[in-house]
Amino acid sequence: MLLVLGLAFLWAPVLLLAGYAFSDSRVPFEWGGFSLRWFTALANNARILDAAWLSLRIGAAAASLATLLGMALGWVLARHGPFAGRPVFGALAGAPLVLPEVVTGLSLLLLFVGLQALTGWPAQRGAVTVWLAHSALGMAYVAVLVQARLAGLDPALEEAAADLGASPFAVFRTVTLPLIAPSLAAGWLLAFTLSLDDVVLASFVSGPGATTLPVYLFSQLRLGMTPEANALAAVFLVVGAVLSAIAWVFRRRAG
């Protein structure tokens, strides 16, 4: 019973928000009869579509970079023994996990401002700075997943391949990489979700020409909610449900 109440508490507002997307009323949370007019308005809203497309591009790029860097970071923490500065290295690697995003965002802003003063780069804050900020955040999460996966692997598998004459790169490519592939996939998806959902970091490091979808919606909330936001929530809910169903089907077939 408590589980049902907890799920209802979490999902009822989301479903209610999506339900009002089919209301004909211009007031966001007032039912005015069934209508699809706000989905049509959403499809014709160039600003929302541009912001959504930018968020998807930044999310995919940030998740890819975070996966590469996080894999290397997790490898160092799991496979390398004690070295000078390891405690500091590990603390810095996990800092984005525990620091408030406001602190991280302000730090990155100061970093970009300092780099601009010293080197002239970046000329202005935009999509590239948001990409780098999201990559830095997602890298810490990927590193935790990779480190946990490597800690659970039997080193004898890699040692056996090395004893048979495989080079270190061949061992990593043919033995280690396939074994940690699930953690890399999970890390990529997690980093992509974090980037797609982020408001705080993007608010600090973005510029006028690089407004992501969460930042755009947050700015709209201060001016007044529009029914198009309800339609957007319904679209995201349907897309998430479809992707979850596809993943469930593939998992059942694999099992």
CATH of the domain at 110: 1.10.3720.10
| DSSP string of 183-250, one letter each residue | HHHHHHHHHHHHHHH--HHHHHH--TT---HHHHHHHHHHH---HHHHHHHHHHHHHHHHHHHHHHHH
Any domain includes 254 = no
Q: 255 falls in which pLDDT band (50, 70, 90)?
A: low
For the segment 140-145, the average pLDDT, to the nearest whole number, is: 96
Q: Give pLDDT, residue 131.
A: 97
For the segment 24-50, the average pLDDT, to the nearest whole number, is: 90
Check whether 200 has a pLDDT greater than 90.
yes
Over pLDDT 90: what percentage of the chain? 61
Check whether 156 has a pLDDT greater than 70.
yes
Alpha-carbon distance of 108 to 128, in angstroms, equals 13
CB 42 within 8 A of CB 226: no
Q: 250 falls in which pLDDT band (50, 70, 90)?
A: confident
Any domain includes 236 = no
Any domain includes 231 = no
pLDDT tens digits, one per residue of 85-111: 888 888 888 899 999 999 999 999 999
Domain that holds residue 98: 47-224
Return all residues near 201 (Cβ < 8 A) that are at least 6 apart.
101, 104, 105, 108, 130, 133, 134, 137
Peptide bond into 168 cis (omega under 30): no
pTM > 0.75:
yes
Check whether 28 has a pLDDT greater than 90.
no
Check whether 35 has a pLDDT greater than 90.
yes
Structurally, the chain folds into a number of domains equal to 1
Any domain includes 32 = no
